[in-house]
Structure 1
Amino acid sequence: MADSVKSLASAHDLDLVAMAATGGRVAFGELVRRHSSPVRALLRRLGADGATADDVAQDAFLAAFEQIAEFRGEGTFQAWVKRIAARLYVKRWRRQARRDALADVGQDAPPPPPGEAGHADRIDLDEALKSLSEAERLCVSLCYGAGLSHAEAAAALNTPLGTVKSHVKRGLDKLRQRLAPGRDFGASDRQAPEGKVNG
C-alpha cells in the first residue's frame, strides 16, 4: 500500500487523470492534494473569504471528478480545475449580488474602500488586487488567474466582451502602477486618487 501511495506521489498529472477516469479515487485524491492550494489561492484573489474559498474549491474538485472523462490534456489539470472553480465562484457571486440587490432596493451602496498601502516598500499582489473595483478584480483574476479568455470571462459574468476587456485593461494598468518598484505613494496618489479612472 505504501508503495502504491509513493508511486502516485511521483506520477504525472495526466497518468493520475487516466486512473481517476476509471474510478481511481486515490489517484484523484493525489490530484486534489497537489492542486487544492493554488485553486483556493485563485478564489481568494477573486474575492472569496477563506470559508467560501474552501467550499467552492471542494465543489470544483467534486465537479472535476464527475467530469474527469472530459479532460483532454490540452492544458494542465490545474488550469482546468481553476476554470471550473472560477465559474462556480462567479455563479455564487452573481446569486449573492442578486440577493444583495433585492435587499438594498433603492439604495446605492458605494464600493468598499481600497486597501491601505501604508509605508511599505513592497505591496503583494493580493493587497494590490483589493485596490481594484470588484468588476476589475473579477475580470483580471478570471483572465490571468483562472486562465479564461476574455470571451470566456464575458460569458461567465454575462457581461459584454468589450466591458470585460475594458475592466481587464484598467485593472492591469492600476496593478502596474501600484506594484511599480520604487513608487512614491504620496506624489502619484495626489495626482490620481485610488479608485478613480482617468479618461
Structure 2
Amino acid sequence: MSGSHQSRLTASHDVELAALATAGDRAAFGELVRRHGSAVRGLLRRMGATPSEADDVAQDAFLTAFERIGEFRGQGAFAAWVKKIGARHYLRRLQKERRIASLAGEVEEGGDAAPAADAAGKIDLDEALRALGPAERICVSMCYGAGLSHAEAADALNLPLGTVKSHVKRGLEKLRARLAPGDAAQEDRRRENG
C-alpha cells in the first residue's frame, strides 16, 4: 500500500472508509479498526469484561463488522454501530457462561466503595461504574455506552423491559450521586481517608 493511499485513508470520514471497505479495500477497514478499537474495548470493560475478554470480544465484533460492512449505511456513527455489535457479542458470551440469569438478582459486595479520585478531585467514571451492581452496570453500559434503546437491551439480555429500565434508573441515580461535585457523601469519604 502506498503512503499516499494511507494518507487518504487517514483523512477520510468513517462513511467513506466503510464504502471503500464494502468495495474490498481491507486497508480502509483497518483504518476503522485503528480509529474505533479502543472505544469498543472500553465499552466492553465498562460492561464488566476483563481486559483479555474485551480484546477477544472486540476482535469478534470487528470480524462481524467486516463481514457485514455492506449493512452500514452511514445513518449513524460507525463507532455506535460497531459498539452495538460488540455489546451483543459480549452478551452472547455471558449467556453462554450462564451469568445473565444471575445478573437480575445478584448483589455485588462492596458496592459502597468510593470511586477513585485523582489529584484534581475528578472521579473516574470506570471506577464509579465498577461500584454499581452487575445488572445496573451492564444495563447502563448497554444503553448509554453502546447506544441501545431500553427495549433493545431488554431483548439482548432476555429481561423484561421494566427490569432493564429499573436497573438503568437506579444505576444512573447512583452514578449521579457519586459523580456530583461537592457531594456530601464524597466529602465524608475524603474526611475519613484523611
The two structures have a TM-score, normalised by structure 1, of: 0.85
Question: What is residue 12 of structure 2 aligned with on the other side?
Answer: 11
Question: What is residue 130 of structure 1 aligned with on the other side?
Answer: 130
**CA offsets per residue over residues 128-151 of structure 1, 9 Å max, x none?**
101111000010000000000001
Structure 1 residue 113, shift from structure 2 partner? 2.4
Structure 1 residue 100, shift from structure 2 partner? 9.7
Correspondence 1:171 to 2:171: yes
Correspondence 1:180 to 2:180: yes
Question: What is residue 111 of structure 1 aligned with on the other side?
Answer: 108
**CA offsets per residue over residues 165-194 of structure 1, 9 Å max, x none?**
0100000000000111012327888xxxxx
Correspondence 1:2 to 2:3: yes
Unaligned runs of 5+ in 1: 102-107, 190-199
Q: Could you tell me how far apart the structure 1 residues matched to 2:55 and 2:11 are? A: 26
Q: Could you tell me how far apart the structure 1 residues matched to 2:91 and 2:149 are? A: 15
User: Structure 1: which 4+ aligned runs deviate by more than 3 Å?
Assistant: 98-101, 118-122, 186-189
Structure 1 residue 109, shift from structure 2 partner? 7.7
Unaligned runs of 5+ in 2: 190-194
Structure 1 residue 93, shift from structure 2 partner? 1.3
Structure 1 residue 57, shift from structure 2 partner? 0.4
Q: Could you tell me how far apart the structure 2 residues matched to 1:91 and 1:131 are? A: 24
Question: What is residue 192 of structure 2 aligned with on the other side?
Answer: none
Give me the CA root mean square deviation: 2.3
**CA offsets per residue over residues 95-116 of structure 1, 9 Å max, x none?**
2235997xxxxxx986342373
Aligned-pair identity in percent equals 59
Q: Could you tell me how far apart the structure 1 residues matched to 2:147 and 2:110 are? A: 27
Q: Could you tell me how far apart the structure 2 residues matched to 1:148 and 1:99 are? A: 17
- The structure-2 alpha-carbon separation of the partners of 1:115 and 1:124, relative to structure 1 and needing over 3 Å to count, comes to farther
SS of the aligned residue for 2:142 comes to helix
- The structure-2 alpha-carbon separation of the partners of 1:64 and 1:109, relative to structure 1 and needing over 3 Å to count, comes to closer
Q: Could you tell me how far apart the structure 2 residues matched to 1:111 and 1:14 are? A: 41
**CA offsets per residue over residues 62-90 of structure 1, 9 Å max, x none?**
00000011111110100000000000001
- The structure-2 alpha-carbon separation of the partners of 1:23 and 1:188, relative to structure 1 and needing over 3 Å to count, comes to same
What amino acid does structure 2 have at the position aligned with 1:58?
Q
